Amino acid sequence: MTRAAGSRDERLAARPDHGRRIEVRLADALVAVRPLVVPVERVRIPLAPGDVVLAAPGEAIAAGAPLVERLREPELVETAVPEASDLRSGAPAPAVTGGRRVARRRFPIGGRTADGPPRSDEGPGPEAGSVGPAPNAESAPEHDPTANPPGNAEPPSGGGASRRSSGELLFRRKGRWLIVRGDRTDTGVAPIGGTVAAVHAGRAVEIATVGWRIPGTAVLGDPTFGPLAVARDGGDGRAPALDVDLAGAIVVVEGRIDAETIGRARAMGLRGIVVGSLAGRVRRAVEASEARQRTALHPRRPFAVLVLDGELRRPIPDPVRELLAGLVGRPVGIVGDPPGLVVEGPLPRIVVSPDRVVVRSGRWAGTEGQLLGLAGVWRFAAGVHLLAARIATDDGEELVVPVADLVRYGGPS
């Protein structure tokens, strides 16, 4: 057998298409890769002081099972508490009677009350970007696992008379304790099954699990759970058709969506919405609407909006759409930290060609096609010089696009 002389690099370099292959490989390396899914080992559910976790560390919990009772309107009560060794901030308050209710300050801050973000020069405050606890019950029902078996996507709706939580110790002041408690709670559900790994009072409960997360950029609302469904674009920019058949489901909505549609979806009993993008004004309108409804008396169920890719209008890319289509009917959850759609079990098989790219921004945002290779430095609109790549679109056109505007979807990271 005759073999070419020289090293492997030299032999490869001698091949006539060597430069072309380097160019394509380099273009591949320079195009950002966005994972379609990422493995999930822990899911973090945010808590506020006074929220009561319904499962203890080490306890198994099924997806959709009630996990936390959130105070809708927490109040501060100052009271004397009998001395005991386990009195510390974050511990459940012992049952005591009486106590002086501490008046809470509610200064308007940017249109919100003090429950909203604090004044800050740049950053959001606590709970910024959150719709807030999804109200569920006027008063907290005593949790009965048999009444709401694991796996049941229907959390208790509440509304009846139930036991009032004795509250959570916040801190000691002049020999007395400040306790956080409230009359009404909302029930939060586990967005994915697993084992309660840790409970950090007033901060978060962590669920150890084995699953996958489809990454998003933002979530409005609290973790939620339900079977996945897809609603098609209404066409001509109209809002998608959502009806009561979708009650209890998390629905993927393609195309433009407005605050009214999101409000209607919640009212019809949908558990969540997944959108490609959500304009900032829609997001603010939804937040304002939710803030108003927090004061309502009627029970409300968990609901969240998952935004897959920011504020500017962008269609859901084909690989993500295919993956979501493959998950239709499967139970999924929406989590906010980090944002994404979580699912247990094996994923549908999606084949994404390694040279498949999506233009994520700029003039051709949303266009998809095949990466042909680097095109060198090009002069673009407004005289801007950028490293560019050639792509062949699905419509048969060849485009020269800034490399930085391209993204590839890859396997789990």
Residues 22-51 that bind other proteins (CB under 8 A): 22, 26, 29-30, 32, 48-49
**107 in contact with other proteins (CB under 8 A):** yes
**397 in contact with other proteins (CB under 8 A):** yes
Closest CB 74 distance from other proteins, rounded Å: 6
Binding to other proteins, residues 322-341 (CB under 8 A): 337
Decide the pairing of beta strands 38-46 and 339-344: unpaired
Binding to other proteins, residues 195-224 (CB under 8 A): 200-204, 217
Q: Which is nearer to other proteins, 91 or 241 (CB)?
A: 91
**118 in contact with other proteins (CB under 8 A):** yes
Binding to other proteins, residues 303-322 (CB under 8 A): 310-312
Q: In what order do the strands lie in the sheet with 100-102?
A: 100-102, 75-79, 176-181, 168-173
Q: Which is nearer to other proteins, 249 or 388 (CB)?
A: 388
Q: Which is nearer to other proteins, 222 or 322 (CB)?
A: 222
Cβ–Cβ < 8 Å for 68, 200: no
Scanning 93-101, 134-142, 290-298, 375-383 for contacts with other proteins by CB under 8 A, the matching segment is 375-383
Q: Which is nearer to other proteins, 34 or 344 (CB)?
A: 34
175-to-77, 79, 398 alpha-carbon distances in Å: 14, 9, 75
d(CA 202, CA 162): 22
Q: Which is nearer to other proteins, 118 or 411 (CB)?
A: 118
Structure tokens, 348 = 């549908």
Q: Which is nearer to other proteins, 270 or 359 (CB)?
A: 359
Scanning 98-106, 219-227, 265-273, 298-306 for contacts with other proteins by CB under 8 A, the matching segment is 98-106
Q: Which of 180, 231, 307, 316 contacts other proteins by CB under 8 A?
A: 180
**183 in contact with other proteins (CB under 8 A):** no
Q: How far apart are the first and last CA of the chain?
A: 42
DSSP line for 320-373: HHHHHHHTTTSEEEEEETTEEEEEESPPPP----TTEEEE-SSTTTT-EEEEEE
Cβ–Cβ < 8 Å for 129, 218: yes
Structure tokens, 302 = 């968990």
d(CA 212, CA 190): 15
Closest CB 360 distance from other proteins, rounded Å: 6
Q: Which is nearer to other proteins, 27 or 65 (CB)?
A: 27
Scanning 184-192, 220-228, 322-330, 395-403 for contacts with other proteins by CB under 8 A, the matching segment is 395-403
Task: Count other C-beta atoms under 10 Å from residue 208's C-beta.
Answer: 16
